[in-house]
Amino acid sequence: MSSVKVINKSPYPLPEYQSEHAAGLDLQAVLDSAIELAPLERVLIKTGIFMALEPGTEAQVRPRSGLALKKGLTVLNSPGTIDADYRGEVGVILVNLSNEKVRIEPGERIAQLVLAKYESINWQEVESLDETARGSGGFGSTGH
C-alpha cells in the first residue's frame, strides 16, 4: 500500500475504498448547491483534495460505472491523469451523455481515483523496427 500526502479542503472525509479489493477511491463533488447538467453539457467539479504523489506514480480519474449506467454521466477525458508534480486541487470533468438533464448533489460520489505506477520513456531512434506477424495492422485488423 502506498502512502500519499494529502490536504483535504472539502467538507467530507477523505476518499475511501468502498470494498475490500476495490482499485479506486471514490471522489465526492464539492458544490455549494446541486447542479443540473443538460444533455452533452460538461462541467469541471472540484473535490477539495490536494495531494503529492511519489515520482513514478500517477493518479487516474475514472468514471464510476453506476453513474454511467444509471445517469449517463462519465469523465470526459477518461482517464484523467494527475501527475506526480501537480499540487493543485483535483477536479473532475463530467459530461452528461444521456438525453435528459442530470442532477448532481453536493457530496455525491462522482468519479474514482486509481493510483498507478509508470515508467518514463527514453527514446532510442533507429532506422527500422523488428517484424511481427501483425505488422502495421491496426484499428480492427485482428478480427471482430
Q: What is the pLDDT of residues 92-111, one digit of tens each?
A: 999 999 999 999 999 999 99
Task: Note whether 109 and 49 are within 8 A (CB).
Answer: no
Residues in the chain: 144
pLDDT in the model for residue 144:
64
Task: Grade residue 1 by pLDDT with cuts at 50, 70 and 90.
Answer: confident
- How far is Cα 88 from Cα 72, in angstroms, rounded to an integer? 28
Task: Note whether 8 and 28 are within 8 A (CB).
Answer: no
- How far is Cα 111 from Cα 47, in angstroms, rounded to an integer? 10
Task: Grade residue 137 by pLDDT with cuts at 50, 70 and 90.
Answer: confident
CATH of domain 5-117: 2.70.40.10
- How far is Cα 57 from Cα 116, in angstroms, rounded to an integer? 6
Enumerate the domain spans of the chain. Answer: 5-117
Has residue 138 got a pLDDT over 90?
A: no
- How far is Cα 46 from Cα 108, in angstroms, rounded to an integer? 12
Where residue 141 falls (left for φ over 0; alpha for ψ -120 to 50; beta otherwise) is alpha
pTM (2 d.p.): 0.87
State the amino acid at position 122 in one-letter form: N
Summarised one tens digit per residue, pLDDT across range 34-92 is 999 999 999 999 999 999 999 999 999 999 999 999 999 999 999 999 999 999 999 99
pLDDT in the model for residue 53:
97
